[in-house]
Amino acid sequence: MALVPILAALLLSSVGTVSVAVPPAPAPLVVPEPPRSGAPPATTWLVERHPGWEQFSNGLRIETNLAVRTQPRLYRPLSQNPAPGAPLGFRTEPAGIVFHASEGPLASFEPEQTGLLKRQGLGLLAYARRHRLYHYVVDRFGRVHRLVEETDVADHAGQSVWADADAVYVNLNTSFLGVAFEARTSPGAETTLSSAQIHSGKVLTEMLRHRYGIPAENCVTHAQVSVNPLNFRIGYHSDWARELPFSALGLPDNYLQPPPSVYLFGFAYERAFFEAAGASLRAGLLRSEEEVRQAAAARSLSPARWRAELNHRYRQAVSQVKTERAALEKLAAREELHP
């Protein structure tokens, strides 16, 4: 990890900063106000660490025997409020959590299916570990498995966008942790989590939020952050477009938050995605649409013209992120060759 500050210092001197301006604050809308804060997580600490598992003070137990290393986390979010001479610095700690569903085959959760449930769980863990998909998987029995170390990058979010009060995050593999529940959320599928999964998800979220100071509003679902840059539509991955039990996980209803991909970068969405979403996410989508319309009107532009400008900002942001990532990889390779 000593390499991280060296790379950051070198990169700061060679790569510029892209700032993302936020449209003027919209007037109040006739949809629920999105949650912007939540109760602070309870103090949680590591009680015991042994080969293969860790135990925490809030009852969380993490199975660690499958954990692998990838590449150290190092990223620089884009500025939410441009200020000359005050670019955002590089970060090594996660800014949030993206919740996923495995979307694989699921046996009925009943005693007679225990053997099949175990085999399905093992298959998921093997696949996710091989592809470095998530930092954590919560299986049907509520067991929490660490697959990628928290300090490293997992390939869980792909093309994605989120923002908080201070920063904009593009392509969240590097900046957010990935937590997957063994569950199905596709239309028509039963999405009920076991009580054990809900409990484990809550204490895991509590621990991660306390450890890294993650704000409640940065704990969101894959459906809320996933985008398709080819057609500028959101919801490319739609797992947890509805029914994630935010409250049971100790979080506000974050579905109500307007997706930043819409109001910051002009993304739209298909009707099918809107219909597959739950009521709260629909409210968040409508709020984002209204923010786009009001920002366009404030500039005497049509919504379509304003969206085109926002789409251009997205391309600039992605270019910035790619340039920095390529520079980091080049510098890392140089350090390995000449330690």
pLDDT confidence tier of residue 35, bands split at 50, 70 and 90: low
Query: Which pLDDT does position 326 carry in this prediction?
Result: 77
Examine residue 331 and state whether it is found in any structural domain, yes or no.
yes
The mean predicted confidence, pLDDT, of the chain is 87
- Say which residue, 210 or 187, is predicted with more confidence: 210
Distance of CA 334 to the CA centre of its chain: 30
Examine residue 222 and state whether it is found in any structural domain, yes or no.
yes
Q: Which residues contact 331 (CB under 8 A, 6 or more apart)?
A: 6, 7, 10, 11
Query: Which pLDDT does position 37 carry in this prediction?
Result: 63
Which pTM was predicted?
Answer: 0.88
Question: 170-184 pLDDT, tens per residue?
Answer: 999 999 999 999 999
Q: Which residues contact 173 (CB under 8 A, 6 or more apart)?
A: 153, 154, 155, 156, 157, 158, 160
Residue 118 sits in a domain whose CATH number is 3.40.80.10
- Say which residue, 1 or 194, is predicted with more confidence: 194
- Domain count of the fold of the chain: 1
What DSSP state is assigned to residue 165? S
Examine residue 262 and state whether it is found in any structural domain, yes or no.
yes
Question: 199-255 pLDDT, tens per residue?
Answer: 999 999 999 999 999 999 999 999 999 999 999 999 999 999 999 999 999 999 999
pLDDT reading at 81 higher than 80 = no
Question: 9-30 pLDDT, tens per residue?
Answer: 444 444 444 444 444 433 333 3
Lowest mean pLDDT among 28-32, 78-82, 332-336: 28-32
- Say which residue, 167 or 336, is predicted with more confidence: 167
Contact in structure between 102 and 180 (CB atoms under 8 Å): yes
Question: 275-329 pLDDT, tens per residue?
Answer: 999 999 999 999 999 999 999 999 999 999 999 999 999 998 898 888 887 777 7
Examine residue 36 and state whether it is found in any structural domain, yes or no.
no
Cα distance between residue 44 and residue 56, in whole Å = 7
Query: Which pLDDT does position 230 carry in this prediction?
Result: 95
Examine residue 140 and state whether it is found in any structural domain, yes or no.
yes
Examine residue 326 and state whether it is found in any structural domain, yes or no.
yes
How much of the chain, in percent, has pLDDT values that exceed 70? Answer: 83
Query: Which pLDDT does position 41 carry in this prediction?
Result: 81
Query: Which pLDDT does position 321 carry in this prediction?
Result: 83
pLDDT confidence tier of residue 271, bands split at 50, 70 and 90: very high
- Phi, psi (degrees; rounded to nearest 5) at 121: -65, -45
Contact in structure between 157 and 174 (CB atoms under 8 Å): no
Examine residue 89 and state whether it is found in any structural domain, yes or no.
yes
Question: 45-72 pLDDT, tens per residue?
Answer: 999 999 999 999 999 999 999 999 999 9
Question: 131-166 pLDDT, tens per residue?
Answer: 999 999 999 999 999 999 999 999 999 999 999 988
Examine residue 11 and state whether it is found in any structural domain, yes or no.
no
Query: Which pLDDT does position 254 carry in this prediction?
Result: 97
> Domain of 114?
41-337
Query: Which pLDDT does position 1 carry in this prediction?
Result: 47
DSSP-based three-state secondary structure for 100:
strand
